[in-house]
Amino acid sequence: MKHFITFTTLLSLVFTLFSCSEVIDGPDVIKPAGEGTALLTMHVGDIRTRADGDFTAEDSEKEIKSLACFVQTYGVGNPDAPEYKPGAFGKYFSTEELRSPMGMEEELKAVGNGSYNVTVRVRSEGFNTEKGSDVIFIANYQHSDPAIDLTDELKALESWEALEAMLTKKVTQSPGAPLLMFARKNIVLTEGKTQISTAEMKRMAVRLDVEYIEKLLDPDDTKKFNLTSVQLIHPKGYSYLLPHDEEEVDQIEVVESFPVVAPATATPDEIKKIYLYPASNREDSEPTRIRIKGTYYNTNLPIDKTIDFVAPDGSTLPLVNNTRYSLQLFPPDDNMELTWKFTVADWSDGSVIEVGAAQDPVEIKEIEFTPAQTTRWDAAKRAFDITGLEAGAEMKFSVEGNSPTTYDVMCLYNKNASSVGISDPADLRSIVTQAAAVSNVDPDTQKTTFTQDYTIAIPSQEGNAQVPVEIKVYIRDAANYNNADSIIFTSLPDYNGIAGLKPVKFAGQYWAPVNVGATTTTSGDNLAFMGYVFQWGRNDYQSETLTTGDHTDIEEGPVSYTDATTTYADKFIMNPKANYDWLIAEDAYLPTRNLLWSKTVNDSPCPAGWRVPRADEWQKIIDAATPGVYDASGKQFTIEGDETGKTLLFPLAGFRNTEGVSTNRGGAGGYWSSSITANGKPRRFYVALNGTASVNNANPVTGFSLRCIQE
């Protein structure tokens, strides 16, 4: 009979923002922790903000009113052996009763300005000293407003993976103090010993300060600008609890705007402490912007400026958690052109971003192509179609402006640029060659103009995946990165080589126009329209659904992964039993199968450059403003794409149930996602017989359709 080993973790949380310190792990053993226990003393390292050199964070930004601790221990030994000691997922809350199953051993204690101690007792059978134990702290999860309180959601968590994927609740105005904070670290715990370690607390929010720089004016000069309000346009409505990559952050929906913030009477030209959530601000997302309003001189002449977060290289500046952005406004000139400077600092380091005033527009001139192009170039849109273009074409032009120019290149849809033969997206800039700037001074006006010649090796998809792509080349004024002209190279090839079938853009992403195995969008009760169905995570086996007659390709399961991919590669593996899976629950390849269709691995029946959609991507179809049309007679469900007249169509191919029997062909449609829940259930998109669409769990043994989305 297995027994639980108890150990105590002592977490000493020191959260200070006024000094920097090096974080060093302490001695491995201090004193015996007692039989069956291990002690952990946690020191949360010092943090300092140095954005402007003299910036001091406020007490409310350091305050911890509630603290949750999550610990994931890992098993010891062979999982198949009787002596195996499994790990555990533990969760502990300062708001729970002391020494209760989810409570702390002692109350959360403040021991200084922003410093706290807390003691936690964690239970686990195994302490894996090679893999260590993962620890995450979440501060200030409890809130008086139930609309943003996270207590119940955190208590309901059942796995480490669910914690890592968790989101805050949606807000319609800037979040406030006390601020959500987090820290995470891997620590080696040893039974019967005491471990001392350190961690660093970080805020989940972003801080924005706006200030009009009067000190730069001549003392006798007339004040030229009165700041009246600041407003955030398209801020993110919520955030992940823990940092995620840009593509996942892009999926978080934005709010149209947060309410206007006005300056305090005591400081009428500065607005401090506007909090917001992280955003990638990439051009293919909905970027967050700042709207500045004021008046010119001591008049009612309005100044209304919407400002993008723009970095020196011309790319949009991401909003990163635990980072302070100081927007410094400069006096407008006589044409009321307001200029500004961003000071951007992580709360330990920083850099300066400057943006200058507008000048004469950058203009691309004297465009030439080698070989000559007559049909691919759209001069009005500054767009060049590279669909089917052979490698080796060049584009040359000159640029004239008030300053020398620089350039930036970015790729949309096929974001890593692999379809045009680029192995590293950073190398995409290499397609552009820039000549030195030549200056010329007008003898009458003494105005200086600069001319530069450019050559672009036009991208080609020859020999690579034929997928939608937009490559944007920006030519920017070096003195003002907002002053730019651009060229776009586009490709919208036929999907999977099927003549006339074009991918459809929906919610900013390209979807395949047909199911895997289908070749036409013309409604019909046949394979060409319906496509194949697949059991979740099986690439080798595919089949149709039937309207009449029984299938003869059924094998009783579950079976091993090896057998499923060899002996039974051409069989539907049925299993109407407890786990409803075609794969043996204890099979060593279970983790491999569960990741097979993921975006990271992407070994799926989708063509090169395409993958199985995630559940959140299917959810966008459910959330669409126009929910789509269910057509039982046409055996299809349709929804309008982003472009007028383009429709995304989903055949109602039915499915094969846990016994391999075809059902609902022509009446309902089920589509796999690549997502899987913590308890091993894959997610699917389903259109029911009444036309109701949903995203929910399904059994891996079931046979559903596959629709691909671009990588």
Residue 13: the pLDDT is 33
CA distances from 308 to 158, 210, 281, 295, 339 (A): 40, 14, 9, 20, 12
Provide the pLDDT confidence category of residue 232 given band limits of 50, 70 and 90.
very high
Residue 145: the pLDDT is 84
Say if residue 23's pLDDT is above 60: no
The better pLDDT of the pair 487, 690 is held by 487
CATH 3.40.50 at 206-355, yes or no: no
Taking the CB of residue 260, how many other CB atoms lie within 10 A of it? 12
Residue 337: the pLDDT is 59
Residue 485 near residue 363, CB atoms below 8 Å: yes
State the average pLDDT over residues 455-463: 94
Question: Helix (H) and strand (E) counts for the chain?
Answer: 7, 44
Residue 399: the pLDDT is 92
Residue 702: the pLDDT is 96
Say if residue 695's pLDDT is above 80: yes
Residue 553: the pLDDT is 94
Provide the pLDDT confidence category of residue 118 given band limits of 50, 70 and 90.
confident
Residue 107: the pLDDT is 79
- Bridge partners (DSSP) listed for residue 254: 236
CA distances from 424 to 315, 409, 411, 419, 427 (A): 17, 13, 12, 12, 5
Residue 593: the pLDDT is 92
Say if residue 394's pLDDT is above 60: yes
State the average pLDDT over residues 259-274: 86
Tokens of 618: 């299917």
Residue 195: the pLDDT is 60
Lowest-confidence region among 217-231, 307-321, 343-357, 509-523:
343-357
- Bridge partners (DSSP) listed for residue 115: 14, 112
Say if residue 10's pLDDT is above 50: no
The answer to whether domain 206-355 and domain 363-491 are alike in fold is yes
Provide the pLDDT confidence category of residue 624 given band limits of 50, 70 and 90.
confident
State the average pLDDT over residues 356-379: 80
Residue 264: the pLDDT is 84
Q: What is the pTM of this model?
A: 0.53
Say if residue 445's pLDDT is above 80: no
- In angstroms, the CA 119 to CA 181 distance is 19
- In angstroms, the CA 468 to CA 309 distance is 28
Report pLDDT digits (tens) over 526-569.
Answer: 999 999 999 999 999 999 999 877 899 999 999 999 999 999 99
Residue 269: the pLDDT is 81
Residue 585 near residue 557, CB atoms below 8 Å: no
Phi, psi of 677 (to 5 degrees): -80, 170
Provide the pLDDT confidence category of residue 9 given band limits of 50, 70 and 90.
very low
Residue 685: the pLDDT is 95
pLDDT above 70 covers a percentage of the chain that reads 81
What residue segments make up the domains of the chain, in order of their start? 5-203, 206-355, 363-491, 497-710
- In angstroms, the CA 419 to CA 673 distance is 24
Say if residue 43's pLDDT is above 80: no
Provide the pLDDT confidence category of residue 26 given band limits of 50, 70 and 90.
very low
CATH code at 363-491: 2.60.40
The better pLDDT of the pair 110, 490 is held by 490
State the average pLDDT over residues 692-700: 92
The better pLDDT of the pair 530, 222 is held by 530
Residue 47: the pLDDT is 35
State the average pLDDT over residues 369-383: 90
Mean of per-residue pLDDT scores for the chain: 81
Q: Return all residues near 445 (Cβ < 8 A) that are at least 6 apart.
A: none
State the average pLDDT over residues 123-145: 87
Residue 211 near residue 269, CB atoms below 8 Å: yes
Residue found by looking up tokens 């015996």 in the block? 32
Residue 410: the pLDDT is 84
Residue 590: the pLDDT is 93
Residue 468 near residue 493, CB atoms below 8 Å: yes
- In angstroms, the CA 350 to CA 37 distance is 43
Report pLDDT digits (tens) over 584-608.
Answer: 999 999 999 999 998 888 899 999 9
Lowest-confidence region among 2-6, 189-193, 671-675:
2-6
Residue 350: the pLDDT is 25
State the average pLDDT over residues 494-509: 92
At residue 457, what is the residue type? A
Residue-wise over 525-556: b if at least 16 C-beta within 10 A, else e? eebebbbbbbbbbbeebbbbbeeeeebeeebe
Tokens of 173: 């105005």
Provide the pLDDT confidence category of residue 625 given band limits of 50, 70 and 90.
low
Lowest-confidence region among 14-28, 44-58, 279-293, 304-318:
14-28
Residue 198: the pLDDT is 61
The better pLDDT of the pair 626, 124 is held by 124
E strand segments, 537-626: 554-556, 572-574, 610-611
